[in-house]
Amino acid sequence: MPPSNVSEQKSFSFKLILLALLVYGLAHLSPALPWASPSSFLNGLGPQTALAQEDEEDEEDEEDEEDEEDGEGEADEAEGEEGEESAEGEAAAEEEDTSYLTDIGPAKEIINEGYIFPGLGNRKATWGAAQLHILFASFILGCPMFVVIMEVMGARRTQGVRKAVILANVFMGVLTGVIIGIIGEIIVDIHHGVLYGLWACAFAALIVSFLNYFHICMNTKVSSIVGAVVGTFFAYILVPIDHTTVPAIILALLNGAVGGFLSTAIMFAQADYKFERLAHEITKVIGFCYSFTALTGGLFLFIMMVAYKDFISYLVTAYPILFMIGYPTLFILETIVLYIYVYSWEPLNKTNKKGRHIVLGVVLNILGLSLLCALDGPATFMQTPPKPYDALFTTMTEWDRIATMTWMPLNYHRLVGNGTFGGFMVGVISAYMYLWSKDPKEKEYYDWVGYMGNFIGVLFMIPLPAMGYIFVREIYQYDATIGMYIMSDRESMFMLVQGLLIGTMFTASNIYMWVSMKRIENAHRFFPAMKLGFILIVIAATIWFTPRRFFATMLPEPGMNPDMVLPDNLAFLALMVSKNTAAFALVTVTLINYIFYTISTRTGKIAWGKINPLGPYILIFMGFTDIWLMSWMGTIRELSRMNWHIYKVFKDVTPEKFAPSLAESGVFVTGVVWTFFIVMTLIIWLGIKYPKTKKDKTEEAPAAAPQMAE
């Protein structure tokens, strides 16, 4: 098409959009125009009779009133004037039988008998379906985060890509700022730390990326300074606080510097096709997982509708807008964008529109996160419904029921948790593909993928304890009884298992680094220092595990040994101070080892594809442990509501209202995780390995065509 035609067409489209906006604006923003009444406009779209009935109750001067309401209205008027007429009116109203309007027919006589899910029981059936749904959902939320990072790293920096990187950087700035901000809020107790982090990092990323686009501020050091200044300036303006403290300013400066630094580093990163290939391969798996998310979500909902029908209908009706409009809209949009993202990969690469594809990826992530936040509303409502309870459906709005005390903490926790999940799942995929590949080049590539998966997984795992901490802190503030049920009562042993699992995760991650470093030239110079770190890890894990008492409840119950309690002078070992110190030590040692690992990769030659064969199995072990831990924490969160579906609002009166024992839960969670991994193994084979095998048989071709030159 000639350029002039293109510009004419663009101009016409633009005018058309402008006209549509104008009409829309007139219809909605000009109440003075009689024809533009939104209600009359909407009435034409919906069931008019029903709307008319409701309107009559409010507007007395409506002409077409129903007979019944006529009668009532007249009777009211007559009451004050003539007694006889009033009596007649009342009698007429009494005589008239309007039950036909509400009679639902024979169904009202039929009482459905409860059904118990064979073999498992209703609770476990619901538990299993919900857990599987969350695991697949985490995959389709966590992996796109990973994929976009990889896609950006793999895209050649064309004009279009650089435009898209501005958006990607801002998105990255928001996420990074929130994470660092929360840590500042928790550790240094900075009021509104999250907001300082968010605004500073996001604006630093925006401004620096924008300057970078015009080839200004290309040095990372300068960008950090510019980011720090600009970010702090915006944070200072936007955070609603009377007095800004020094720690808050330092936090803003730090976030701004990080935002500026990362933006420039990403904007001018050397593109590597390996990243592109990795992102594309993972995307194929995401497509499969999306179907399984929907499938398990449906299963979960159907089981709930049979097993807990009263509760699910109460919960859904508590969120009419969310469940009728918000959730379906987001879900449909995400489906559309996801499939466009998956299937437009190669076409957009071929037409040199990589930037648009990256934008799609960011939009997909934004939609996914919105979906996550939307559904966290009902999830946290079940745990911490806003008080006072008698105002839940009177003065409180649907938004109040979404934005509960633990809503944002759970959003943060799941956001970071999904990042970890994404990283470790990529690790699992890489391990499978490494084991299934025979070609040395393929092995090299998947060895590198494992390295990247572990890198992202560990990177997100480091702030994860802080996110968990802020979530539990809010629970304590809402109702300490729930917190105590988790930390000191029936779930205390569950938490002990959590400590053990986290210790195992960090240990496995460090072993993977150790094993990986053995194939790097000259890396063994770090080994003696790393061994010191490993000793610290064992000590930290021991402290994290040390309980106040070795019985499973707050006070010993019949059959328990009451002497299994730490004496008072040693009790400090079981307190949060010690646990936090242990967590800090675990995180710090892992970080130090990672620094050693990174220095080794930069200063020594890496023999990709020559990793100790133990490496891929460690990656699978870590993936399994991470997902087991995630399922375990979900179990803890659900059980912490005790015998309530919605804490103190909707009681669970079924026979399964008690907390299952630790042993029973352990076996069940293992079963759920096995199911997930069996399905995932099939998906990885179907999504990545099988097409490759087919392709290998026909001809050698790369999985995704490299991006064309501009």
Query: 93-99 long-range contacts, Cβ below 8 Å, gap at least 24?
Result: 93/68, 96/68, 96/71, 98/68
Residue 665 binds other proteins (CB under 8 A): yes
Residue 246 binds other proteins (CB under 8 A): no
Torsion over CA: 179, 185, 186, 191 (sign): negative
Residue 387 binds other proteins (CB under 8 A): yes
Interface mask (CB under 8 A) for other proteins, residues 267-306, using x and -? ----------------------------------------
**Residue whose token pair is 């998956």:** 342
Angle made by CA atoms 150, 278, 518, in degrees to the nearest 5:
95
- Residue choice 356, 518, 689, 692 for contact with other proteins (CB under 8 A): 518
- Omega before 388 within 30 of 0, i.e. cis: yes
Quote the least distance from Cβ 420 to other proteins, whole Å.
Answer: 17
- Residue choice 381, 407, 624, 676 for contact with other proteins (CB under 8 A): 624
Quote the least distance from Cβ 516 to other proteins, whole Å.
Answer: 12
Quote the least distance from Cβ 156 to other proteins, whole Å.
Answer: 36
Quote the least distance from Cβ 124 to other proteins, whole Å.
Answer: 13
Which positions from 24 through 63 interact with other proteins, judged by CB under 8 A? Answer: none
Quote the least distance from Cβ 346 to other proteins, whole Å.
Answer: 31
Could you count the other beta carbons within 10 Å of the beta carbon of residue 574? 18
Reference 553, options 503, 501, 495, 498; nearest CA is: 495
Helix (H) or strand (E) holding 15: helix 3-29
- Residue choice 52, 592, 703, 705 for contact with other proteins (CB under 8 A): 592
Residue 542 binds other proteins (CB under 8 A): yes
Residue 19 binds other proteins (CB under 8 A): no
- Residue choice 137, 465, 489, 597 for contact with other proteins (CB under 8 A): 489
- Residue choice 666, 689, 692, 705 for contact with other proteins (CB under 8 A): 666
Between 86 and 546, CB nearer to other proteins: 546
Interface mask (CB under 8 A) for other proteins, residues 627-646, using x and -? -x--------------x---
Residue 493 binds other proteins (CB under 8 A): yes
Between 124 and 518, CB nearer to other proteins: 518
CA distances from 232 to 174, 182, 597, 660 (A): 14, 16, 33, 50
Reference 707, options 369, 356, 457; nearest CA is: 356
* Structure-token pair, residue 431: 């391990």
Residue 693 binds other proteins (CB under 8 A): no
* Structure-token pair, residue 363: 């939009």
* Structure-token pair, residue 533: 């770190």
Residue 441 binds other proteins (CB under 8 A): no
Give the whole-angstrom CA distance, residue 281 versus residue 289.
Answer: 13
Burial class of residue 58 (count of CB atoms within 10 Å of its CB; 0-12, 13-18, 19+): exposed
Residue 323 binds other proteins (CB under 8 A): no
Residue 663 binds other proteins (CB under 8 A): yes
Quote the least distance from Cβ 650 to other proteins, whole Å.
Answer: 15
CA distances from 461 to 207, 502, 676 (A): 29, 10, 21
Quote the least distance from Cβ 651 to other proteins, whole Å.
Answer: 9
Quote the least distance from Cβ 244 to other proteins, whole Å.
Answer: 20
Between 278 and 611, CB nearer to other proteins: 611
Give the whole-angstrom CA distance, residue 411 versus residue 495.
Answer: 21
